[in-house]
Amino acid sequence: MKRKNVVILGSTGSIGINTLKVVKRYREKFNVYGLTAYNNHTLLEKQIKEFNPKYVAATERAAQYLRKRINTRKTRILNVDGDLEGMVSQRGVDVVVIGMRGSAALEPFLAAARAGKTIAPANKEALVVAGDILMKAARQNGATIVPVDSEQSAIFQCLEGNRREDLKRVYLTASGGTLRDVPKAKFNKLSVKQMLKHPTWKMGDKITIDSATLMNKGFEVLEAQALFNLDIKDIEVLIHPQSIIHSMIEYKDGSIMAQLGVTDMRIPIQYALTYPERLDVGLKQIDFCKLAKLTFEKPDMKKFPSLGLCMYVGRKGGTLPSVLNAADEVAVEAYLNGKLKFTKIYDVVERIVRKHKIIKKPTLKQIIAADDWARSETRKVLDR
């Protein structure tokens, strides 16, 4: 395998940090070409000094800090709000890891697709809001998309070497999040700190809250719909508390293929970086003799209505996924800031989704406009 030049969008988040752990393990196979971050400029400085990227994109405040502390003759500092598309499109780039959160990843994702890069998305929002556009751009320009989300990586791996026309159903597994065993009547009695204690994964605040509402799992349904060109009715969510099976594929003949692994994001990240090769990840693997049980149950749609709302949005399509994502971002931020009760997150988002007039086959400009509209409408509802 030739040494690959890697750009990491969101290098100071959990995905970025784990990607750099993989790179550090196999320095002879990977070179850090570019790093980006929004807030944590002290960690970004450490990453720059350790990995010597050719380019770094940061906020203006962070850029001013970094120019005083790093060798700018070796590392060029760019603007994170305007230069990402140019960075990911450069001829020397082989792999673009998208670890930044939110719809801000949409334009650099599209730029990487148009440049024919290998894209390793951990960001699901871009595929949720503009999956059709992104996948079309990837197909037209020979880009390869190897997802990093553990569930999407599992589906990707289970599909390898099999005929797509033989696929019958996809099973997306979910840990159940923080509230799996909590009665709905007690939701609002838990503090934000308690809500952020996910039973399985260590993630950012926003995605942890989305996991608690199962909105995140709904986003993964929409992500899978776009990535693998699936009908929403052929995707089923299963609560699997042990988080050992990351997803499964059922074929027409009744055969079911599953991808299993320990709960560590370095496994899907490394697979995306090395694809189609596999390398030793250096982690303790599953001891099947010590596994007490693997259990599954249907999600409680009354307790977690956000999942059903996502299914509705997936059936309608058009600009509605963009509206769903934007409204959820604003509502969750309000909750995290103490301005909205937890159970009101769904109420606010559902209200905006129902109010929106759908454009069925939108352009990118119309998708962005729908995003802007939803954020504005959601803030109006919150202000009232």
Q: Which two tokens stand for residue 13?
A: 């988040």
State residue 290's pLDDT score: 87
Extended strands (E) in 122-213: 144-145, 167-174
| CA–CA separation, 11 and 6 (whole Å) | 11
* 128 Cβ neighbours under 8 A, 6+ residues apart: 219, 222, 223, 226, 321, 322, 324, 325
Rg, Å, the chain Cα set: 20
Task: Set out the domains of the chain in order of their start, with CATH numbers.
Answer: 4-148 (3.40.50.720), 149-264+286-315 (no CATH), 317-384 (1.10.1740.10)
Farthest CA pair distance, the chain: 63
Write out pLDDT tens, residues 323-334: 999 999 999 999
Give the mean pLDDT of 195-205.
Answer: 76
The values of phi and psi at residue 203, to 5°, are: -135, 180
Confidence of residue 280 (pLDDT cuts 50, 70, 90): very high
The pLDDT mean for the chain works out to 94
Q: Are 311 and 305 in contact (CB under 8 A)?
A: no
Residue 71: its pLDDT value, please?
Answer: 85
pLDDT at position 277 is 95
Between CA 346 and CA 336 the distance in angstroms is 14
pLDDT of residue 201 exceeding 70, the answer is no
Quote the tokens at residue 124.
């699901």
Pairing outcome for strands 167-174 and 245-251: antiparallel
Cα-based angle 165, 169, 173 (whole degrees, multiple of 5): 140
Bridge partner list, 95: 6, 118
pLDDT tens for residues 215-253?
Answer: 999 999 999 999 999 999 999 999 999 999 999 999 999
Q: Assign 296 a pLDDT band (cuts: 50, 70, 90).
A: very high
Helix pair angle (344-355, 305-316), 10° resolution: 20
- Beta carbons of 210 and 307 less than 8 angstroms apart: no
Q: What pLDDT digit, counting tens, does each position of 84-136 carry?
A: 999 999 999 999 999 998 778 999 999 999 999 999 999 889 999 999 999 99
From the CB of residue 256, how many other CB atoms can be counted at a distance below 10 Å?
12
Angle between helices 266-274 and 150-159 (to 10 degrees): 50
Q: What is the pLDDT of residue 202?
A: 67
- pLDDT at residue 304, rounded to an integer: 96
Residue 294: pLDDT over 70: yes
User: Residue 127 and residue 227: Cα distance in Å, rounded?
Assistant: 8
d(CA 191, CA 180): 16
- pLDDT tens-digit profile of 149-180? 999 999 999 999 999 999 999 999 999 888 99
Distance CA 287, CA 304 (A): 33
Residue 292 banded pLDDT, cuts 50, 70, 90:
confident
